[in-house]
Structure 1
Amino acid sequence: MKRRTLLAALLGGACLNLVSPGARARPAVPRRVIVLDWCLAELTLALGVVPVGMANTPGFRRYFTACPVPDSVVDLGLMFQPNMELMLALKPDLIVITPAHASLRGALERLAPTVTLGQFRASPAPYTGACEETMRLAQLFGREAQGEAAVAQSRRAIAQARARLDALPAYANARGDAPLYVARFIDESRLRVFGTHSLFGELLAQLGLRNAWDGAAAAAMIGFDALDADPRATLVYVKPLPAMTAMMMRTSRVWQAMPFARAGRMTGMAEVPPEGGILSAAYFAHALVDALAALPATLPAAQASEAA
């Protein structure tokens, strides 16, 4: 598809000063961009494109630690209740939203051409989708080379994390026998566990690890007692650990009887947003390997073999 045609399709016919069909000039490239979604903001920044405004920059800086935000980016307030007057003052030539912003689209289009992206998060392979979405944004901004470089760098970082994992004695020859739960605690009894169709789940597969939670959904809210399905599994929880959860771990006999807790196969890893993009994916891969490297160098499969 020609670039002019792609831009027109992405923008739903919004005016970007496109030239007539017979002309050879390239369409105007957006320069003053507003992004109202954190993951799309990460992908935009990964291309070297600095938005003039973003939704809730303090929240982004807190959770998307793999992706710095320049001080020049204006905070536009809540993601689904942005400051329209401030947006108008910024004179954007493009606004980037997700399908979840559909109710705002009419108002936003009165400010500037508006493009909807981000559908990849509903994909069974969110990381692959994020790479593809990065290239769509790269075409939109006329930064195809930067897009290819950003995607390649992310994939190299994940490959490097896998090489680091290969160097750990416990994981060198027993990937399929080393299932992992990746979860985030909500309180002392509930946690969010990530399935195979989540960003974390896809990255586990790319690292050669098996997800111990085989639910079809990207994530599920469960009680911690549901984590005993695979007695060989290791639990990796995303920090921070709620205070009440830490207390429960110290006092609950039910928790202490869980196979991974009893065997010391539990560790925390640095916070990574599960709805992140290619930068967060690379950060997750290395943060996970860091966490696994802190565990004892013995796998459940090895223990079982010795016992046999």
Structure 2
Amino acid sequence: MSVGHRISRRAIVAAALALSCGRAAATVPKRPATLDWAILETLLALGHPPVAATELIQFREIAVEPPVPASVADLGLRGLPNLETLLFARPDIIFNSNFYAGLESRLKAIAPVESFSLYKPGVAPWEPMVAMTRAIAARLGDAGAGEALIAGTEGEFARLRARLGVVDRPVLPINLGDARHFRAFGFDSMIGEAISRLGLANAWSVDTSYSATAPVGIEVLAQHPQAWIVVIGPTPPDVERVLERSAFWRALPAVAAGRVLWLGPVNPFGALPSARRFAGLLTQALDEARDKARG
């Protein structure tokens, strides 16, 4: 076999490898879509906004951040998305969650589907959130963005934990459904994980179902006289005003002692961005309350 022939074969092999790499690169999706808010906020934080997602008006009001570009098509309700709008958005991959598994067969008719399960009763969601972040970033060909998001979130928690120092009371995280009922968040919730990673104790130790227990009568708050009551928004209109007139509410030990923290809205079923947002809001509220007590 001549040298020229050997060189020719090497060239052919190199060309084949280059073609193979080109095809692999071409399979990296560039137009993701999702029905799930935890995935939506992760895509936004990674710098890969989806072409379509659900309930964007509510997302902007409840999750708040990261901001959603105007280019993202609104598919309507998470449980009943407009599949025609999704089709017109031309996604090349749809990231789904176990919350919307019933729609998976219909979604697959539009684009390939990859699913994640963050929230399961009795399972702490931090590692699933980290794993999902890595998986989505890698699937989009941007593993570095995933590692940066994870490292940035862990670094922010370390900074907030140092800022808080020792907090000698547990916190009781709740979301008010109305003036008489709330849902509470245990260790298997994003809220519970954030509390633990801030070095705080969660006063709610009762088993939860899909990360929250609801509805719980407001009288149960009397069982936690030493805790900070942390009210996580959104709060229904007029609830705070009704509670201010309630003799029972005012008589609760935590309320009477001024240990109620009213936080802005947070997506309780979010991923790393929501965990970071909640941690920041809670740290700021505790700092301000302690400063007020000292002053």
TM-score (ref. length: structure 1)? 0.81
Distance in 2 between the 1:298 and 1:214 partners?
29
| Pairing of 1:66-85 with structure 2 (within 5 A) | 66-85=65-84
Which of the residues 249, 258, 262 maps onto 1:264?
Answer: 258
Residues 1:219 and 2:217 aligned together: no
- Cα RMSD over matched residues? 2.2
Greater helix share, 1 or 2?
2
| Pairing of 1:175-254 with structure 2 (within 5 A) | 175=167, 177-217=168-208, 218-221=211-214, 222-254=216-248
Letter in 1 for 2:250: Q
Question: Deviations 1:180-202 (Å, cap 9, x if unpaired)?
Answer: 11111111111111112211111
Distance apart, 1:298 and its partner CA: 9.2
Gaps of 5+ in 2: 1-15
Residues 96 and 264 of structure 1, relative CA distance in 2, 3 Å threshold: same
Residues 1:148 and 2:147 aligned together: yes
Question: Deviations 1:232-285 (Å, cap 9, x if unpaired)?
Answer: 111111134444432343222222221101211112112111111111111111
Contact 2:119 2:188 in 1 (8 A): no
Residues 90 and 256 of structure 1, relative CA distance in 2, 3 Å threshold: closer
Letter in 1 for 2:58: G
| Pairing of 1:1-308 with structure 2 (within 5 A) | 26=24, 28-117=27-116, 119-122=117-120, 124-166=123-165, 172=166, 175=167, 177-217=168-208, 218-221=211-214, 222-296=216-290
Letter in 1 for 2:99: A
Distance apart, 1:294 and its partner CA: 2.3
Distance in 2 between the 1:271 and 1:35 partners?
22
Larger radius of gyration, structure 1 or 2? 2
Distance in 2 between the 1:242 and 1:83 partners?
27
Contact 1:55 1:77 in 2 (8 A): yes
Which residue in 2 is equivalent to 1:7?
none
Residues 105 and 48 of structure 1, relative CA distance in 2, 3 Å threshold: same
Question: Deviations 1:148-197 (Å, cap 9, x if unpaired)?
Answer: 0011111111111112212xxxxx3xx3x311111111111111111122
Distance apart, 1:90 and its partner CA: 2.2
Distance in 1 between the 2:52 and 2:237 partners?
35
Q: How many aligned residue pairs are there?
A: 270
Distance in 1 between the 2:94 and 2:235 partners?
36
Q: Between the two proteins, what is the percent identity of the paired residues?
A: 33
Contact 1:189 1:245 in 2 (8 A): no
Distance in 2 between the 1:59 and 1:152 partners?
28
Residues 205 and 103 of structure 1, relative CA distance in 2, 3 Å threshold: closer
Distance in 2 between the 1:34 and 1:230 partners?
43
Residues 181 and 137 of structure 1, relative CA distance in 2, 3 Å threshold: same
Distance in 2 between the 1:153 and 1:139 partners?
17
Q: Could you say what secondary structure the match of 1:269 adopts?
A: strand
Distance in 2 between the 1:108 and 1:272 partners?
28
Question: Deviations 1:60-81 (Å, cap 9, x if unpaired)?
Answer: 2121212111111111222222
Letter in 1 for 2:282: L
Distance in 2 between the 1:197 and 1:101 partners?
20
Moved more, 234-243 or 132-141: 234-243
Contact 1:93 1:113 in 2 (8 A): yes
Which residue in 1 is equivalent to 2:8?
none
Distance apart, 1:124 and its partner CA: 2.2
Gaps of 5+ in 1: 1-18, 167-171, 300-308
Distance in 1 between the 2:80 and 2:198 partners?
38
TM-score (ref. length: structure 2)? 0.85
